Amino acid sequence: MILLTGATGFVGSHLVEVLRAQGRAVRALVRAPGAALPPGVESSVVADLADAHDLRRVLAGVEGVIHLAGRAHVMRDTTADPEAEFHRANALATRHLAEQAAAAGVRRFVFLSSVKVNGERSGDRPFTEADPPAPEDAYGRSKRAAEQALREVAAASSLEVVVIRPPLVYGPGVKANFLRLLRLVDRGVPLPLASVKNRRSLVSLWNLCDLIATCASHPAAAGETFLVSDQRDLSTPELVRRIAGAMGRRALLFPVPVPALALAARLLGQGDAVERLVGSLQADSAKATRLLGWTPRVSVGDGLRRTVEWYLASDGDQTADRSGR
């Protein structure tokens, strides 16, 4: 039996299907009754993991935990103390769940962390698992603290911890910046990105969930941290062109010097958002291939095509003018 947190979220809803297709029994930990889950998936209600001090019933019969739930990166955080909120939801809740999992005799604990633990910019070479952590925001620091808590629990018990750090995850149901980019390309909005010469790692929902499922049982994964990607990094202009091509459109890109673009963004209070478009952030997932024999099942081209197909078939942008296709 696998206990899965975050089962109704972007990654979790797809992972449930992957695990079920592999014949694994799944118990979903949900915050409220009535969560939409596939037939055959058990559910247990725990409103707040950070306050959950007795999970013996939830963990009964569980051999592995996959912990996806947490407070996601927030673009415009309006909470009074974001650092405390992230720490409580991501670090404290993870420690509570891991401690009780260890006490219940759970063998494996897979934690979905973030490449932001490594940092925001990879520089002239991709990040690896051997690089010293350098998180720069409250979200990244909370994920780093959660990883440290898991290592402490594992050192004091027989719990096998596996940490996975993905970069930007895309696929059907994607939201936030990637969905905004889909909408901009679909609307035919010219983008000042032709001069950008960066490299960004991405990971599709299919490849991420495949690695998570692999780490839930592979003997060599125990005690390890893995970076993950589609293993085909793209520049931002190349990403836009691939999205446009999948939509049957021509990418509308025009050149603006990157320093001028960055300065304008800072003046408009959008410096962080533009940094994600012009900066490089690469993740080397060779360790997963070397230790686990894992390779991406879906190419970045197929992943983007499937994501665009979902977008065009959904209500992702009712106002988009698609007459130009």
- The token pair at 67 is 């912990």
Alpha helix stretches (DSSP H) within 188-299: 205-215, 236-246, 258-267, 271-278, 286-292
> Cα(113)–Cα(124) distance, rounded to whole angstroms?
23
> Cα(281)–Cα(200) distance, rounded to whole angstroms?
5
Residue 282 burial (C-beta neighbours within 10 Å; 0-12, 13-18, 19+): buried
- The token pair at 27 is 């118990």
Q: Which of 10, 109, 111, 139 is catalytic?
A: 139
Task: Please give the C-alpha separations between residue 297 and each of 9, 186, 202, 302, in angstroms, as whole numbers.
Answer: 22, 27, 14, 10
End-to-end CA distance of the chain: 48
Residue 259 main-chain phi, psi, to 5 deg: -60, -40
> Cα(138)–Cα(73) distance, rounded to whole angstroms?
9
> Cα(216)–Cα(24) distance, rounded to whole angstroms?
11
Which residue, among 239, 143, 242, 164, has the nearest Cα to 208 in the 3D structure? 164
- The token pair at 283 is 């993740």
| 139 included as an active-site residue | yes
Q: H/E/C letters for each residue in 132-184?
A: CCCCCCHHHHHHHHHHHHHHHHHHCCCCEEEEEECCEEECCCCCHHHHHHHHH
Residue 74 burial (C-beta neighbours within 10 Å; 0-12, 13-18, 19+): middle
Task: List residues with catalytic annotation.
Answer: 139
